[in-house]
Structure 1
Amino acid sequence: MSAAPAACGAGAEPVEADEIPQHGRGASEVAGLVHHLLRHDVEPTRNLATFLTSSHEPELQRLLGEYQTHNLVDREQYPGMADLEQHCVRMLARMWQGDPDVAVGGAVTGSSEAALLAGAALLRRWRGSGPPNLVMGAHAHVCWHKFCRYWDVEPRIATARPGRLRLDADSVRELCDENTIGVISVLGSTLDGTYEPVAEIAAALDAIASSGGPDVPVHVDAASGGFVAPFLDPGLEWDFRLARVHSINASGHKYGLCPPGLGWILWRDPESRPDELRFRTNYLGTSRTHHELTFSRPAAPVVAQFYNFLRLGFAGYRSTHQRTRSIARHIARGLSRMGPFRLLGDGSQLPVVAVTSRDGDLELQHLATALARRGWSVPVYPLPADMHHTDVLRIVVRRDMSWSAAEELLCAVGEHVRSSTREGA
């Protein structure tokens, strides 16, 4: 069946949405049509489902437009951009307590590509003889399951249960063997916003290795936490301070405050990134070494990362994330006082609030629908299967949420709760 024609305003000729028209139209008319077709999409500042940054100051917005057409991989043609990328790598290495003169890595299209590269490095460094496996928690991002499927690695997943959604030292001791290529520890779960105990996991692996067991490296998936913990939790040991941590990834487009399309992957030293991951090519007139999975992509997000580092500084990032964490904790306290919610994540680590229905009396999906009618996008999703199909409602607080918006959200939730209570009485 053909898609219904789309029209833009009275008197406009309909446009078939599933075919290119024979003749082009005016720029203003087409821009108006795009706005018309997207008019029902949620306002990004009210999208509480996404971790992605959705607003920028005007100066950065202009830079993004200027460098959108610069291809990041054309490092010979854009040597200044290549230098800019490596400035960011060295800043991140220092931020993650590594040696900026030794650490290697670069920008990728997101934490998913970073995960695939990190997993490939773990697999290449592994020297076991049996089928390889990768140990992770039940809340690990789907990109790790993709890696395991694409590279034929067994995913060994710690069983989730009430009070333990995360990977911990006990799980590591249970699951690791001589064919474990690595352990994935998550600094900032997308399920509930909590950090895994990276230092405890590393200590358990140190003990296994010192007693004659396998020497298993750790990769820290810090997609969100890598741009939060250094500023708000500086005493937390999760990064290259731990010798067991060989690599770290983070998403610049989340709490790094950059537009979508930017991830970072760093290895503590060249030995942690095997040479097999490096490809030497002569594609644009000069010979260059690449380690990315993808080629053409805009350089603008890297410009944004460099801009943010210098524009905000350490103090600016800390102030920004402290505010979002404060708002998240305020929302968590407000929901907790309403009665029917049980907190899984209270915003005290990532600025993320996650709740379940305390007694099952409140339908979270009905609440999400009621919030959608007020313009809020709030996801409801099931916890891992081991948790008996428990649903979770999650609220992600980002830089563009105001205190007044948080109060508006709490009022909307409160009205729905009171209405549901009256109907159930």
Structure 2
Amino acid sequence: MYRFKVPENSIPKEAAYQIINDELMLDGNPRLNLASFVTTWMEPECDKLIMDSINKNYVDMDEYPVTTELQASSSQVIAQYYQLIRLGYEGYKNIMENCQENAMVLKAGLEKTGRFNIVSKDNGVPLVAFSLKDSSRHTEFEVSDMLRRFGWIVPAYTMPPDAQHVTVLRVVIREDFSRTLAERLVIDIDKVLRDLDTLPARVTEKVAATEEQAQNGGVVKKSDIEVQREITTAWMKFVADKKKTNGVC
């Protein structure tokens, strides 16, 4: 395998590119990662600026004084520098308004299913947080887990202390999250809900788990969703305890 050792013979550049590209694609599509505010999308001109300067030795300050000065200034990231002078206040305002409009499209689609409560506000940060109206049969963690089949990364987590009984799903609306993607996400969520409706309810699963536990001498393997929920709860407790102990001496 090329990834583990240097090959004996050369291969065409197209083949080398394809091998690495195929492996990188295993990480999935970053546009479908709705858990983070960080966007990796850039206009083609940003890519061109980076590629035009990528062969410069940034350590050689005498040979490339302009590049060095650019690097030492507040615009350390070329793409960010491009965005600032390209967009200006007007451009950033348009982007945020577009994100907010796409958030409303997603919100309307979720409300149309009749299965969710929207818990986020319409103003402020462009995101949509929502929870199941009826979580007696299935949970938000199950919805999050099944959405991964379609490539989506939509996190589910419990709320802070004193509200741990509330679980929400959250979608961050970024610049590269278009209206088309919002509509596609609603379609995939609807598919997940239909699939969940065909599965046994959690009550049935608990009975089966109890029987399995009795057969295995009191030991039963936890599901991925249960493990995720326990990790989330433990981490939130750790953060809360740390805040209590952090003080000024």
TM-score w.r.t. the length of structure 2 is 0.65
Q: Secondary structure at the match of 2:154?
A: coil
- Tell me the equivalent position of 1:217: none
- Partner residue in 2 for 1:215: none
Alignment-derived partner of residue 376 in structure 1: 152
Cross-structure match for 1:130: none
CA contact (8 A) 2:118 2:129 kept: yes
- What is the Cα deviation at residue 308 of structure 1? 1.1
Secondary structure at the counterpart of residue 55 of structure 1: coil
Q: Kindly indicate whether residue 103 of structure 2 is the aligned counterpart of residue 328 of structure 1.
A: yes
Residue 70 of structure 1 deviates from its aligned partner by 5.2
Match of 2:24 among 38, 46, 51: 38
Alpha-carbon spacing, 1:24–1:77, altered in 2? closer, same or farther (3 Å): farther
Q: Mapping of 1:167-186 within 5 angstroms? A: none
Within 1, Cα distance between the matches of 2:113 and 2:184? 15
Residue deviations 1:259-317, cap 9 Å, x none?
A: xxxxxxxxxxxxxxxxxxxxxxxxxxxxxxxxxxxxxxxx5xx2212211222222121
Cα drift, residue 63 of structure 1: 0.4
In structure 2, relative to structure 1, the CA distance for the partners of 1:65 and 1:339 (3 Å cut) is same
Partner of 2:225: none
The code of the aligned residue for 1:371 comes to: L
How many correspondences in the alignment? 199
Give distance in 1, aligned partners of 2:164 and 2:58. 45
Equivalent residue in structure 2 for 1:28, among 2, 5, 14: 14
Matches within 5 A, 1:266-415: 302-346=77-121, 348-361=123-136, 362-388=138-164, 390-415=166-191
In the TM superposition, 1:201-216 aligns within 5 A as none
Shift of 1:400: 1.6
Distance 2:130 2:151 in 1: 20
Q: Distance in 1 between matches of 2:14 and 2:195?
A: 45
What secondary structure does 2:120 align onto? Answer: strand
Match of 1:124 in 2: none
Structure 1 residue runs of 5 or longer lacking an equivalent are 1-13, 88-105, 108-298
Quick check: 2:105–2:179 contact (8 Å CA) kept in 1?
Answer: no
CA distance in 1 between counterparts of 2:60 and 2:176 reads 33
Confirm or deny that 1:60 pairs with 2:46: yes
Task: Specify which structure has the higher proportion of helix.
Answer: 2
The whole-number CA distance in structure 2 between the counterparts of 1:324 and 1:420 is 30
Deviations 1:327-346 (A, max 9, x none): 01221232234333233324
Letter in 2 for 1:46: L
Q: 1:86 to 1:394 in 2, by over 3 A?
A: same
Match for 1:396: what amino acid?
V
Contact 1:354–1:395 (CA<8 Å) still a contact in 2?
Answer: yes
TM-score, normalised to structure 1, is 0.40
Distance verdict in 2 for CA 1:314–1:86, change over 3 Å: farther
Q: Is the 8 A contact 2:109 2:183 kept in 1?
A: no
**Separation (CA, whole Å) in 2 of partners of 1:346 and 1:77:** 52
CA deviation string 1:326-377 (max 9, x = no partner): 1012212322343332333245212111223344234223222332222322
Q: For the residues of structure 2 that align with 1:64 and 1:331, how far apart are their CA atoms?
A: 34
Letter in 1 for 2:36: T
Alignment partners' CA distance in 1, 2:135 and 2:154: 18
User: Identity over aligned residues, as a percent?
Assistant: 29
Other structure's SS at 1:330 match: helix
Cα RMSD (Å) of the superposition?
Answer: 3.2
Decide whether the 8 Å contact of 1:352 with 1:395 is kept in 2.
yes
Unmatched segments (≥5 aa) in structure 2: 202-249
- The 3-state SS of whatever aligns with 1:387 is coil
How far apart, CA to CA, are the structure 2 residues paired with 1:353 and 1:74?
A: 47
Cα distance change, pair 43–62 in 1 and its aligned pair in 2 (3 A): same
1:45 CA displacement: 2.1
Decide whether aligned partners of structure 1 residues 30 and 420 sit closer, same or farther in structure 2, where only a CA change above 3 A counts.
Answer: same
Match of 2:127, as an amino acid? Answer: V
Structure 1 residues 354 and 67: alpha-carbon distance in aligned structure 2, compared to 1, 3 A threshold: farther
Query: Structure 1 20/422 Cα, relative in aligned 2: closer, same or farther at 3 Å?
Result: closer
Return closer, same or farther for 1:412/1:82 CA change in 2, 3 Å cut-off: same
Work out the CA distance in 2 between the residues paired with 1:385 and 1:319: 37
Match status 1:417 vs 2:193: yes
Whole-Å separation in 2 of the counterparts to 1:368 and 1:383: 16
- Distance in 1 (CA, whole Å) between partners of 2:108 and 2:61 is 49
Letter in 1 for 2:123: S
**Amino acid of the structure 1 residue aligned with 2:153:** S
Q: Secondary structure at the match of 2:118?
A: strand
Distance in 2, matches of 1:78 and 1:307, equals 19
Q: 1:382 to 1:78 in 2, by over 3 A?
A: farther
Mapped partners of 2:89, 2:183: distance in 1: 29
